[in-house]
Amino acid sequence: AWERLAEAHEALRDISGAILAYEQLLRIEPPDDPRLAPPLAVKRGIQELVLISHRRGLADAAEVREGLQQGLQQVEQVSRETLTRRALEDVESLRRVVDEDIGLLERAAAEYEIGTGRGLRSSFASRAMRDLSTLRKVAFSDINTLQLQILRGDPTVTLLRDLSSRLLAAAGGAAEPQMRTRD
């Protein structure tokens, strides 16, 4: 029965099952058992070699699998580090663009205030300057929060990145979104 079971496992390419069946068979009828007829003893000897080969094959497969897993983990780590570095570079680019744009608006408001002197227009320019200062603080606070989320590996950022990639792919935009920069 163990011999038939081992053959069935072999036919199904279930090496682990075949190993178990061969072990049981060879425990009951080892190849060096003097009670076995010579042809059956030879057959059991060959089955023992098959058992040894299967064990070695599984051990080799486990080593290869472990090596592949280690390699994939290293690639994943490098990819994660590269993505994090690129994301942080993008955040810094965003910070520079926001800073430049708000600076441009502040200079325009300051020139407007200087050119108008006192009165209603002057108070408008002063109010604009205060609002721009508040806008800069809020924007930088949000950018700092985003930067911390990236450094911590926040799943929300990953989810948003994956969703945006899928939306771009669905829209036919294979290229990655480009950040606006100043020339």
**Given its phi and psi angles, is residue 94 left (phi above 0), alpha (psi -120 to 50 degrees) or beta?**
alpha
Name the pTM for this structure: 0.46
Report d(CA 134, CA 105) in Å as an integer. Answer: 13
Q: Please name the residue that has the structure tokens 């068979």.
A: 25
**pLDDT tens-digit readout, 74-94:** 777 777 778 788 888 888 999
Check: CB of residue 2 under 8 Å from CB of residue 21. Answer: yes
What pLDDT digit, counting tens, does each position of 93-118 carry?
Answer: 999 999 999 999 888 888 776 655 55
Tens digits of pLDDT across the chain (183 residues): 888 999 898 898 888 999 999 899 989 989 999 998 999 889 988 889 888 888 888 888 888 888 888 887 777 777 777 878 888 888 899 999 999 999 998 888 887 766 555 555 667 778 888 899 999 999 999 999 888 888 887 666 666 666 666 776 776 654 444 444 443
Residue 18: is it exposed, middle or buried by C-beta count within 10 angstroms (0-12/13-18/19+)? buried
